[in-house]
Chain A
Amino acid sequence: MNHFTENVMRLATRYPDLAASLKAARGQVLTIESARNGSPSARRDGRWIHSAYDPLRDAETWADSHAPACQAGETIVIAGIGLLYHVEALRKKLLPDIAVAVLISDMDEFHDALSARLLGPWSDQILWFSGTPQDIAQTLTATGRPLRCLSYAPASQSEAEFHSDFEQALRRGIARQVGGQLTIALVGPIYGGSLPIAGYVKRALENLGHKVQWIDHSVHARSYDIMGTLNDTRNRQLMQSRMAEVLSQWTLATLAESPPDLVLSLAQAPLTSPVLEHLRKKKFVTAMWFVENYRHLTYWQQMAPGYEFWFVFQQGQCLEAFRQAGARNVSYLPMAADPDVHGPITLADEDRRHYGSDVSFVGAGYANRRRCFPLLLRQPWSFKLWGNEWEGADELQSVLQLNGARIDTATCMKVFNATTINLNLHSTTGAGLDPQADFVNPRTFELAACGAFQLVDHRSLLSEFFTPQEIVSFRSFDEVPGQVKHWLADPSARQAMAAAAQARVMSAHTYVHRMKDLLAQIGLSQPDRIGAVLRGNRRVEALRSRCAADLPLESLLKECPAGRRIELKDLAAQIRSKGPSATLKREELMVLMLDEYRSETRDLV
């Protein structure tokens, strides 16, 4: 009997369908060759998947690097099949209460693996998953066990799309399940476009039931601005960078007051690399949502290794660039809208007249907008231009509103709601449309959330969020006058489209959706920390159920209020509240002693 037949027989007892699929597979995607030590090794598309010298030792090394992180009760999900040396090595290093699952992304590759090597009894302790990434993700999340995803890169990279889809599906699945309460320190910028987003993020996290401590640096904006009035560039930059350092230390001091589960920064948050490194050493989990075009603002290159998790709104090269700069975990997280701010409003007639027009645009005077917008003048419809930094755009002065004042969010909402056709042109420093038109700006989601009709310049990622029945895009600005004419003449189609876009935002593109995704991603990477909290494992009921046979802990938890998340510090606070002269039980004294060491994070500064 050959290896394949014997292996399939072994599998068939637990996985008859999988065995049948294997028999139907053709294999021959791996080239099997003998390694120097005589063991079979393999190449795929010319690249070695296992060592050409000693595949066993190679696999041992991989398993050694991952085994220590694997915790009891977890399911370890391995991406990458190869000849399964790495799966065998890891399985043998883990205790039986840690499950190991393997994603079968390519039945032919699995066929080759089973033909090349005889699986031992260890394989009976493996969970084999085949099917679509979405189905596998759903099955795994339904188990309710903490999941820890590992990738054996030499084998997984040939199925990168499968694994990316799987990870995304898993993230969504976990996002739907999350329920525990995290404490999150939200570090905002001093000023700029990411400042309002910090507010939206805060509200979204709170709506999800998390405790948010917003470290709001915008209160220092005035001082920062005053430093900006220094004429000497060197002095100005020196003072402003010193101020950023002080604010970074201030953030550290604030975090020390009450250490959170997660430090979430928004782009431009004044946290320096040394402070981030310090936080990492103190085991803080840090994340940054970089809501900027990575091609324009490039300071991330120096900061990349500083944050544990990066979230960016661009894909492809952006993700790769961050990884190359040293980012350990970088994920795609697009922009969104906040329905509490961005929504339909009823306007008085006077407001409608003041803020309304056939066509309008709200935004700053970037070069491409200055070049394109004159095309909208002298048309049979009205056009209003709102926003600042339009100095020198003489031709547009006749349509510029409020003398080019900066438009606040409330005014912006009035304009969106009062305008028949809102123009949304992504900024670029060039002459026309953005030549690298990938990300979708917040404005797209905000307009849609208002139920406002918009014409947006085409973005490669737009179809990921909206269908052509929900949003109209243009690929050349020359198309715009014709589009305006067309849509002005068809109010019912316009309103139907705007309503559809609004429904789409509400169902999939709010900051609540994004924060769920963000936390799920972090939880997935840290199943024993953030993941455990999100699964509700730290709630008093969960703890009580775990300590059925443990009297000391049960007695500690007796007085904890139901539904609350209970951490060491909470128990300690509860014990201290009994007063300094209370007679404490032995386990209460132990908790206080443990809390003494936990609170050493106060030495953060």
Chain B
Amino acid sequence: MLLNSSSHGRALFIQLARMGDLVQSLPAIEAVRERYPNRPLDLLCSAALAPAFAGTRAIDRLIPWNGAQWRTWADQWSHDPIETLRSVETYLTAIEAEGYDRIYNLNQHARGHLMAHLLSHHPVETSHARQADHGLSPWAQYLRQVVAQRGENRVHLADAWCGMCGVRPRGRAPILDGQEVELPEDLSGIGERKGFWVALVTGAGDPARCLPPEVWTSWIRAFLTQIDDGQVVLIGTGQEREAAQAILEATPALLQGRVWDTTGRTTLGQLLTLLGRCPWVIGADTGPLHLATAVRSRAMGFYFARARVHETGPYGDGHWVYQYATQSQPDSWPIKESIGLICDEGRRAAPGWSLWKSHLDRWGVFFDDGSAPQAKDHQRAAVWHALSPTLDDSVAA
């Protein structure tokens, strides 16, 4: 990332990663906006995800990143390198002819680094190389260390990105203020009819984080049997259609009328609308959970494999996460416990799982399991003090 000292020039956030990371960038974007209200602020993100962020007030200009076009250019290089370079130059100039004064490159990916160099108005002090530590900010180095060593980190990724951007978290969860998008006719009743609506994130981008369909079937059966007006919405991409079909087929016929399969049938905008209509969104895939929190829904995560609550738990106040004790595939699932929890908000422990609830404070989001919250508070304070002493002092003051 690179940072020029100008406080009024145009700034650019670069976030080329997937949906979960993009949503988790919002606290940093909003904090920077709050700190520098007069600085024009642009966001470069994947073209496929851009529509969901079109209404974000903190962003002046949303620049869709066209990865497919870059792939075409890479293929075209061998035929005509001259024309390829010219096309790339034209594309970059269209993004920002003058270059940016300040660039916030959140993910330490090679493409982000390269774009930071290409779009910066000033010489960039960070490395353009893959996997290089050279030029990384203290926060970036800290995150890299967390990824490599795991350890007892309690600073949420979204808040660490605030630190990387030189701002402290606002202590509020970001909200996406998009307009409702019209749903397919047969799905339009979702959330509109009376009932206890719960959206289930059927699959996950990382196959290791997918819940087996039979677990979802058990969850649905238990929930719909227990809650008379319960309604379940299955969400997911086209890749999850098969799993959703298996879940539906295994669900007792009498309950099937209360299960809505939307997998593979929604655009990103429609997905946001769906999530916003369901008071609870439950799943193992962090991306949709983050999206849900940004449309004011409550999120409950089943975190296992490599997912870790303290780093990527749902951002905001009052979300819940069941974290599996080890990185292996769970052999039992908190089905009745999670159902009980969303019904009455009472903590229910499940064997093999720890249970965490999210809160917001001056250093952003944190999760507590009901035991000794002070100790964890200290760990976060220590990190902020070490990596952003100025910000830490200002908070203390």
Listed in ascending order, the chain A residues whose CB lies under 8 Å from chain B are 71, 283, 528-529, 532, 538, 543, 546-547, 550, 552-553, 567-568, 576, 579-581, 583-584, 586-587, 589-590, 592-598, 600
Contact between chains at B70 and A547 (CB < 8 Å)? no
* A553-B85 in contact (CB<8A): yes
Q: Does B84 contact A (CB under 8 A)?
A: yes
CB-based nearest A residue for B115: A593
B35 partner residues in chain A, CB cutoff 8 A:
none
**Binary contact track B71-90/A, C-beta < 8 Å → 1, others 0:** 10111011101101100110
Contact A594 B79 (CB under 8 A): no
List the one stretch of B52-60, B128-136, B187-195, B312-320 in contact with chain A.
B128-136
Interface pair A593/B129, CB less than 8 Å apart:
no
* B350: Cβ under 8 A from any A Cβ: no
B67 within 8 A of A: yes
Partner of B85, one of A528, A583, A590: A590
Q: How far is the CA of A160 from the CA of B84 in the complex (A)?
A: 40
Whether B134 contacts A553 by the Cβ 8 Å rule is no
B interface with A by C-beta (< 8 Å): 67, 70-71, 73-75, 77-79, 81-82, 84-85, 88-89, 92, 110-111, 114-115, 117-118, 123, 127-130, 132, 134-135
A584 lies within 8 A of B74 (CB): no
Verify B81–A587 contact, CB threshold 8 A. Answer: no
Query: Are B115 and A600 in contact, with the CB atoms below 8 A?
Result: no
Interchain CB contact under 8 A, A283 and B75:
yes
Alpha-carbon distance A584/B84, docked complex (angstroms): 19
Known interface pairs A581-B127, A583-B123, A590-B89; A595-B75 also in contact (CB < 8 Å): no
Contacts of A543 in B (CB 8 A): 81
Residues of B within 8 A of A600 (CB): 71
Number of A-B contacts (CB under 8 A): 80
A597 touches B73 (CB 8 A): yes
Distance in Å: Cβ of B110 to nearest Cβ of chain A = 6
Tell which of A576, A581, A594 touches B73, judged by Cβ atoms closer than 8 Å.
A594
Q: What would be 21 A-B contacts, judged by CB atoms less than 8 Å apart? A: A283-B75, A550-B85, A552-B89, A553-B82, A567-B77, A567-B78, A580-B127, A580-B129, A583-B123, A586-B89, A590-B88, A593-B111, A594-B70, A594-B73, A594-B74, A594-B77, A595-B74, A596-B114, A597-B67, A597-B73, A597-B74
Tell which of B67, B128, B129 has the most Cβ of chain A within 10 Å. Answer: B128
B136 → A minimal CB distance (Å):
11
A580 and B81 contacting across the interface, CB-CB below 8 Å: no
What is the CA–CA distance of A597 and B70 in the complex, to the nearest angstrom? Answer: 7
Q: How far is the CA of A597 from the CA of B77 in the complex (A)?
A: 11
From B117, which residue of chain A is reached at the shortest CB distance? A589
Q: Are A593 and B81 in contact (CB under 8 A)?
A: no
List, in ascending order, chain A residues with CB within 8 A of B114's CB.
Answer: 589, 592-593, 596
Q: Which one of B78, B92, B117, B130 contacts A568 once the chains associate, using CB atoms below 8 Å?
A: B78
Most chain A CB neighbours (cut-off 10 Å) among B77, B111, B132: B77
In the A-B complex, the 3 residue pairs with the smallest Cβ-Cβ separation, listed nearest first, are A580-B129, A580-B132, A597-B74
Q: Which residue of B lies closest to A546 (CB)?
A: B82
| Contact among B78, B82, B92, B127 with A532 in the assembled complex (CB-CB below 8 Å) | B78
A574 to chain B, nearest CB (A): 13
By DSSP majority rule, is chain A's interface helix, strand, loop, or mixed? Answer: helix
**Which A residues touch B84, using CB under 8 A?**
594
Query: Given known contacts A552-B89, A583-B123, A595-B74, what 19 new A-B pairs fall within 8 Å (CB)?
Result: A529-B78, A532-B78, A567-B78, A568-B74, A579-B129, A580-B127, A580-B129, A580-B134, A580-B135, A584-B117, A584-B128, A589-B128, A590-B92, A590-B118, A594-B70, A594-B77, A596-B111, A597-B73, A597-B74
A586 contacts B118, C-beta separation under 8 Å: yes
Separation of A106 and B114 alpha carbons in the complex (Å) = 59
- Selected from B78, B111, B118, the residue in CB contact (under 8 A) with A538 is B78
Inside 8 A of A580's CB, which chain B residues have their CB? 127-129, 132, 134-135
Question: How far apart are the CA atoms of A71 and B79 in the complex, in Å?
Answer: 9
Give the residues in chain B near A568, CB-CB below 8 Å.
Answer: 74, 77-78, 81
Taking a contact as CB atoms under 8 Å apart, the answer to whether A528 and B79 are in contact is yes
A135 to B73, CA, bound (A): 39
Residues of B within 8 A of A581 (CB): 127, 134-135
Contact residues in B for A552 (Cβ distance below 8 Å): 85, 89
Partner of B129, one of A546, A550, A576: A576
- A587 contacts across to B, CB distance below 8 A: 85
Complex: chain A residue closest to B132, CB-CB = A580
Question: Which of A529, A553, A597: most chain B CB closer than 10 A?
Answer: A597
In the complex, A71→B132 CA distance in Å?
40
Please, which residue of chain B has its CB at the minimum distance from the CB of A581? B134
Min CB distance, A61 to chain B, in Å? 26
CA distance A553 to B78 in the complex (A): 13
Q: Give the distance in Å from the alpha carbon of A564 to the alpha carbon of B84 in the complex.
A: 21
CA distance A532 to B74 in the complex (A): 16
Bound complex: CA A546 to CA B84 (Å): 13
Residues of the A chain whose Cβ atoms lie less than 8 Å from the Cβ of B111: 593, 596
Which residue of chain A has its CB nearest to the CB of B92? A590
Bound together, the chains give a CA A592 to CA B129 distance in angstroms of: 9
B117 and A596 contact, CB distance less than 8 A: no
Report B310 CB to chain A, min CB distance, Å: 30
Q: Which residue from chain A places its CB closest to the CB of B80 in the assembled complex?
A: A72
A-side contacts of B110, CB under 8 Å: 592, 596
Q: In the assembled complex, how far is the CB of residue A591 from the closest CB belonging to chain B, in whole angstroms?
A: 8
Beyond A580-B128, A597-B67, whether A589 also contacts B82 by CB under 8 A is no
- A593 contacts B70, CB within 8 Å? yes
Q: Which residue of chain A has the shortest Cβ distance to B125 in the bound complex?
A: A581
- What residues of A have a CB within 8 angstroms of the CB of B78 in the complex? 529, 532, 538, 567-568
Whether A547 pairs with B128 at a CB distance below 8 angstroms is no
Contacts of B79 in A (CB 8 A): 71, 528, 532
**Chain B's nearest CB lies how many Å from the CB of A5?**
44
Contacts of B73 in A (CB 8 A): 594, 597
Residues of B near A528 (CB, < 8 A) are 79
Asked, given contacts A576-B129, A580-B128, whether A547 binds B82 with beta carbons under 8 Å apart, the answer is yes
CB distance from B324 to the nearest CB of A (A): 28
Q: Which residues of B contact A594 (CB under 8 A)?
A: 70, 73-74, 77, 84, 88
- B130 contact set on A, CB distance < 8 A: 576
CB distance from A418 to the nearest CB of B (A): 52
Task: Give the docked Cα–Cα distance between A579 and B134 (Å).
Answer: 10
Closest residue of chain B to A575 (Cβ to Cβ) is B128
Write out the residue numbers on chain B whose beta carbons fall within 8 Å of the beta carbon of A595: 74
Closest chain A residue, CB of each to CB of B111:
A596
Give Cα A579–Cα B75 distance, bound, in whole angstroms.
Answer: 26
Q: Which residues of B contact A583 (CB under 8 A)?
A: 123
A547–B117 touching, CB < 8 Å:
no
Residues of chain A within 8 A (CB-CB) of B71 are 597, 600
CB-CB < 8 A to B128: which residues of A? Answer: 580, 584, 589, 592
CB neighbours of A597 from chain B (8 A):
67, 70-71, 73-74
A589 to B126 alpha-carbon distance, docked (Å): 13
Task: State the Cβ distance, A406 to closest chain B Cβ, in Å.
Answer: 46
- Return A17 CB to nearest CB of chain B, in Å: 36
Q: How far is the CA of A552 from the CA of B84 in the complex (A)?
A: 11
Q: In the complex, how many angstroms separate the beta carbon of B102 from the nearest chain A beta carbon?
A: 18
Of all chain B residues, the one with the shortest Cβ separation from A582 is B128
Measured between alpha carbons, how far is A71 from B78 in the docked complex, in Å?
13
Q: Which residues of chain A come closer than 8 Å to B88, judged between CB atoms?
A: 590, 593-594
Measured CB to CB, the closest approach of chain B to A592, in angstroms, equals 6
**Closest CB-CB distance, B104 to chain A, in whole Å?**
18
A439 and B110 CA atoms in complex are apart in Å by: 54
The reply to whether A547 and B118 form a contact with Cβ atoms under 8 Å apart is no
CA–CA, A597 and B117, complex, Å: 17
Q: In the docked arrangement, what's the CA distance between A579 and B135, Å?
A: 13
Q: Please state if A550 and B134 are interface contacts (CB–CB under 8 Å).
A: no
Q: Which residue of B lies closest to A586 (CB)?
A: B118
CA–CA, A466 to B32, complex, Å?
Answer: 82
CB <8 Å contact, A550 and B82: yes
Of A528, A546, A550, A589, the most chain B CB neighbours within 10 A belong to A589
- Asked if A598 and B77 make an inter-chain contact with CB atoms under 8 angstroms apart, the answer reads yes
- How distant is A64 from chain B, measured CB to nearest CB, in Å? 21
Residue of A nearest to B75 (CB): A283
